[in-house]
Amino acid sequence: MHGNGYNGTVRIGFYICHCGHNIASIVDVKAVAEYIKSLSGVVVSSEYKYMCSDPGQELIQKDIKEHSLNRIIVASCSPLLHEHTFRTAVEKGGLNPYYFQMVNIRENVSWVHTDMKAATEKAKDLARAAVQRVFHHKSLETKHVKIHPDVLIVGGGIAGIHAALTLANAGKKVYLVERDPTIGGHMAMFDKTFPTLDCAACILTPKMSQVKNHPNITLWTYSEVAKVDGYVGNYKISVRRKPRYIIEGLCVGCMDCIEKCVYKEGKTPDEFNLGLSKRKPIYIPFPQATPQIVVIDPETCIEFKSGRCKKTCVEACDRKAIDFQQKEEIKEIEVGTIILTTGYQPFDASRVPFYGYGKYPNVYTSLEVERLVNASGPTGGELILRDGRHPKTVGIIHCVGSRDKNTNRWCSRTCCMYSLKLAHLLKEHTDAEVYNFYIDIRAAGKSYEEFYDKLLDENVHFIRGRVAEVSDWAVRPSEEGKLIIRAEDTLIGIVRRVPVDMVVLAVGMEPQADSQDVRRMFNISCSTEGFFLERHPKLAPVDTFTDGIFIAGCCQGPKDIPDSVAQAGAAAAQALILIDSGEIELEPNTAYVVQEECSGCRTCLTICPFTAISRDEAKQKAFINEALCKGCGTCVAACPSGAIKQNLFEDEMIFSEIDGLLKMESPACC
Amino acid sequence: MPDKPKVAFYWCASCGGCEESVVDLAESILDVVAAVDIVMWPVAMDFKKKDVEAMADGSILVSLVNGAVRTSEQEEMAKLMRKKSKLIIAYGSCAHTGGIPGLANQFGREELLRYIYEESPSTVNPQKTRPELKVIANGSTVTLPNFFNIVRALDQVIDVDYYLPGCPPTPKLLKQALEVLLSGKLPEKGAVLAPDIALCDECPKKDTKPSDLKFTEFKRPHWMQIDPKVCLLAQGILCMGPATRGGCEGVCISGNMPCTGCFGPPSRIKDQGAKILSALASQVEAKDEKGIDETLATIPDPVGTFYRYGLPVSLLRRKNFNSTG
């Protein structure tokens, strides 16, 4: 038996849930309920088939009234699943919801054990720990914070564009921040899109100009988020606007200045065409760039390098839009919610040296081929190789930097389909023989398998096997002057040497190089491979663990355009929920500084990941802003003199819980 | 003068510094002597155990017991003082939290005796003679008290009413404590008779402590010329002040030496060493494992640094407490 009684005020109701057979098949719920009944402070102890059901919740409410209960414990599933349910039930029963404690005997007991006797004992231990804990529970007040209705979207690819337009069309103000001089992202670089083969630019550029012209969207290109402060509903953002050396309001995108630049020809590899063409120091990324505003690259502009340029561009601009003195500008904005659509980076093909990228000029990445076959690309859509030839045979190597334990283990999901698309386009442009070297063809999407069938009918060759190497080492006369792809054809069990004129590497998708920095700035998590982590892989795919911050598109993981657009819409809807509800409830698990106990040592100030702690210099004490505090407990652990406490996690609660687990009687309750 | 309240002093495992601190009351000691009747004080007065045994239970108003409990004799005397006194004050770090003798709890009795009587470089003892609890020589019996396996703080042996912290307690705190006790306005039982706030609060160098210390190494005081105006932690010297109860008025710090933690932690803290560690570790500049290890490796004696006065009351090596024999 437990203790010699208690102070007479705590009256505990304990309920153990069968969860159908989920719990009751491994835990002897009756035995647990009987045991808990014997503990001091426990007035009611019962078991029920489904505590989360309406009758289960009503049972709690009835008992609170009949037995004047003032502490409620439910032993059932995880707090993530039903803590809110039971707190609400307790509140409806007339009790402060924070007198409730949940014991997880499903994930922690029944689902992970097979021995009924031991599992029952463990359930008793966990329940006893909760009984000793609730003695120290206090009545707490739920705080509400208002949601600022404006939204920040970071990244102007198709996901960011779609989210921005969705929100703007719903009447919300959106800031869209893009670090490149134009929005459009990777999609703007594609030629056609699978499986419908409609032109990427034709479907994307109208949306880009809608963004530019939408009254509810503030579009800041060539800009980056520099700082994020605040919390859900009340984020304060600093955006760094890099100087384009062009006055945006004056430039109309006539491009006369580009024409008149002292450079007659471009000398700098063109980023948009992946270096397949050259651009001038003053340029516009591509004809439909949005906004239609030129940029000056100070790294290559003679005026910036020497100060002695004739500045023919300035003469050419009759609107006086060129400003060499332009400085970086910091914009401060307030938003309530944030959507990150920062995209991906293509796998660097030179990391697989045996495929010869960078060594053999006629080895291309898939993205380069997108530009090569594009009518507005570096060759006007004519497929001319780096050595000036037209390819008669092309080999497409799948899974470069995907499904490979030496580089990236994941499937990039899009490469099979875009490889099929490129095979089709290459055949269409050159009538070449096209060989696909694949591991598996993954065509799981609407009309994707049909597209694969179509390619089979177009006489594209498919060789099932991972390519061992690409070389120029000819062993037969027919291989002279060719690139030879060596691969095992696993369907017929022989090693094949396929001589080709052109190799296309279907590179996979990777997290952006700075995804960790972005993650830290926005205080969200990454999964092991570095993509942003969603709150739940199935049920909260666009939420993050930071309230008010959502993710969409390839920053969350590799995906194609339809999936990116779907996620962007979902993220916009999640933001709308917050905006239209106007306020959000905050869990009162916040930390607070007991003023008379604080020695003013400053240890807590810099370690708070949410910058919620400041120091009152007059009183020489630390102070925590409740609205900023997320209840992570870092300061509580770090405070060297124990002057910081945290609601719901006070030392007495935790120590009593531990004592309960160890079958030690806690002095405070016994 | 039968009406004067009776006061006793006793010492267990201690260095004698606490006794000194009583004498440090200087002329105030005369007021104390005038106000009370000292009935036991081994260091200064010739009272015997049997004198105390002869007194009625509870007849001493207050006994100030310093030192930790290492031997059976100390335990016996502590229990006797408890029986005869209304109030027991654990006086000084050793009685309060175990003190320097408590550092011996890193080792067991056998390990200690073996080292002292056999292995230490200065020992010459080829017969490996060890002290015996009972020796009969020339017809007479000589006994020694038992040497326990562990060192305990006073309240791990007897019920303690109040604590006066410090190695040793300052005369000012002793005087205040005696005044309070003699006035009859007793504080709550179990109180530590010093402020319940960390030393930084009263530290003369408080204003110069930065909010992020960014430790790259921990320096030892004798390595460097210490700037007397600047927070010692800011100079890379490990100071226990943030996790140590104030009340000493920063005597060590004013002498340019870091706080070593003798007042023990404020009441909220279960484990002083763990607390200062979690505070300091969160301010190490390096964020990678190797860099963190390198910085922490500059602390030569972590137990002696973080638990210098409190190992017996800490969470460390509690398993040893199962056997005190």
Per-residue pLDDT reduced to its tens digit, B9-35: 999 999 999 999 998 888 888 888 888
Between positions 578 and 637 of A, the ones with CB within 8 A of B are 596-603, 605-607, 615, 620, 634, 637
Q: What is the pLDDT of residues A586-609, one digit of tens each?
A: 889 999 999 999 999 999 998 887
User: With an 8 Å Cβ cutoff, are B275 and A599 in contact?
Assistant: no
Cα gap A291→A181, rounded to integer Å: 8
- Record: contact B282-A643, CB cut-off 8 A: no
Measure CB to CB from residue A641 to each of B211, B212, B243 and give the nearest one.
Answer: B243
User: What is the C-alpha separation between B230 and A93, in angstroms, rounded?
Assistant: 58
The 10s digit of each residue's pLDDT in A641-656 is 999 999 999 999 999 9
**Chain A contact probe: residue of B278, B287, B321 with most A CBs at under 10 A:** B278
Please give the share of chain A, as a percent, with pLDDT higher than 90: 92
Residue A651 contacts B, CB cutoff 8 Å = yes
pLDDT band at A2 (very low <50, low <70, confident <90, very high): very low
Question: For helices A651-661 and A116-134, what crossing angle results, to 10°?
Answer: 150
Closest residue of chain B to A614, computed from CA coordinates = B211
Q: How many CB pairs under 8 A join A and B?
A: 77
Using a CB-CB cut-off of 8 Å, the residues of chain B touching A637 are 278
Residue A522 pLDDT = 94
ipTM: 0.89
B292 min Cα distance to partner chain A (Å): 16
d(CA A242, CA A490): 52
Digit-coded pLDDT (tens) for A490-512: 999 999 999 999 999 999 999 99
pLDDT at A7 over 50: no
Rounded to a whole number of angstroms, the distance from the CA of A604 to the nearest CA of chain B is 8
Separation CA A168–CA A211 (nearest Å): 9
Spans of all domains in chain A: 12-140+652-661, 256-316, 346-510, 591-647
CATH architecture of A346-510: 3-Layer(bba) Sandwich (3.50)
DSSP state letters, A460-523: -EEEES-EEEEE---SSGGGTTSEEEEEEETTTTEEEEEEESEEEEEE-EEE-TTHHHHHHHHT
Average pLDDT over chain B reads 93
Residues B72-99 have pLDDT tens digits of: 999 999 999 999 999 999 999 999 999 9
In this predicted structure, the answer to whether residue A517 has a pLDDT above a threshold of 80 is yes
CATH of domain A591-647: 3.30.70.20
Q: What pLDDT band is residue A657 in, cutting at 50, 70 and 90? A: very high
- Kindly report the backbone phi and psi dihedral angles of residue A302, in degrees, each rounded to the nearest multiple of 5, phi listed first: -60, -40
Q: Over the stretch A433-455, which tens digit does the pLDDT of each residue have?
A: 999 999 999 999 999 999 999 99
Neighbouring residues of A496: CB distance < 8 A, sequence distance ≥ 6? A463, A465, A486, A487, A488, A489
> What is the reported pLDDT for B323?
54
Residues of chain B that touch chain A, judged by Cβ-Cβ distance less than 8 Å: 196-201, 206, 209-212, 241-243, 246, 265-270, 275-276, 278-279, 282-283
Candidates A592, A602, A595; CA nearest to A629 is: A592
Could you identify the residue written with the tokens 């030393």?
Answer: B199
Q: Name the H helices within A135-195.
A: 158-169
Whole-number CA gyration radius for chain A: 32
Q: Is the pLDDT of residue B70 over 50?
A: yes
* B210 contacts on A by Cβ (under 8 Å): 602
The pLDDT score that the predictor gives to residue B31 is 86
Average pLDDT over residues A102-124: 96
Instruction: Read off the pLDDT band of A665 (50, 70, 90).
Output: low
Same fold, A346-510 and A591-647: no
Mutation target vs A (from B209, B267, B268; most A CBs, 10 A cutoff): B268
B282, A615: Cβ pair inside 8 Å?
A: no
Is A602 within 8 Å of B276 when comparing Cβ atoms?
no
Contact A602 B278 (CB under 8 A): no
Q: Which positions in chain A touch B196 (Cβ < 8 Å)?
A: 597
Q: Is A142 at the interface with chain B, CB within 8 A? A: no
- Substitution target in B282, B284, B285 with the highest count of A β-carbons within 10 Å is B282
Nearest CA in chain B to A640: B243
pLDDT score for B2: 57
Q: What does the H/E/C string look like for A188-217?
A: HHCCEECCCCEEHHHHHHHHHHHHHHCCCE
What are the φ/ψ torsions at residue B39 (nearest 5 degrees)?
-110, -10
**Contact B92/B66 with Cβ under 8 angstroms?**
yes
Inter-chain touch B270–A651, beta carbons under 8 Å: yes
Counts of helices then strands in chain A (DSSP H, E): 16, 34
Q: How far is B43 from chain A (nearest CA, A)?
A: 36
Query: What is the predicted pLDDT for the residue at B150?
Result: 93
pLDDT band, residue A86 (cuts 50/70/90): very high
Q: Which domains does chain B have, with CATH numbers?
A: 6-100+150-183 (3.40.50.700), 110-148 (no CATH), 199-319 (no CATH)
> A12-140+652-661 has which CATH code?
3.40.50
Q: Is A642 on the interface with B (CB under 8 A)?
A: yes
Structure tokens belonging to residue A139: 């009545």
Looking at the partner chain, which of A606, A640, A655 has a beta carbon nearest the beta carbon of B198? Answer: A640
Q: Which residues of chain A make contact with B269, given a CB cutoff of 8 A?
A: 641-642
The residue type at B127:
Q
Residue B273: closest CA among chain A residues belongs to which residue? Answer: A640
DSSP secondary structure letters along A596-620: GG-----TTTTT-TT--EEEETTTT
Q: Say how far apart CA A384 and CA A168 lie, in whole Å.
A: 43
Strand A223-231 relative to strand A234-241, pairing: antiparallel
Out of B198, B199, B279, closest to residue A638 by CB: B279
Is A4 a residue whose pLDDT tops 50?
no
pLDDT band at A10 (very low <50, low <70, confident <90, very high): very high
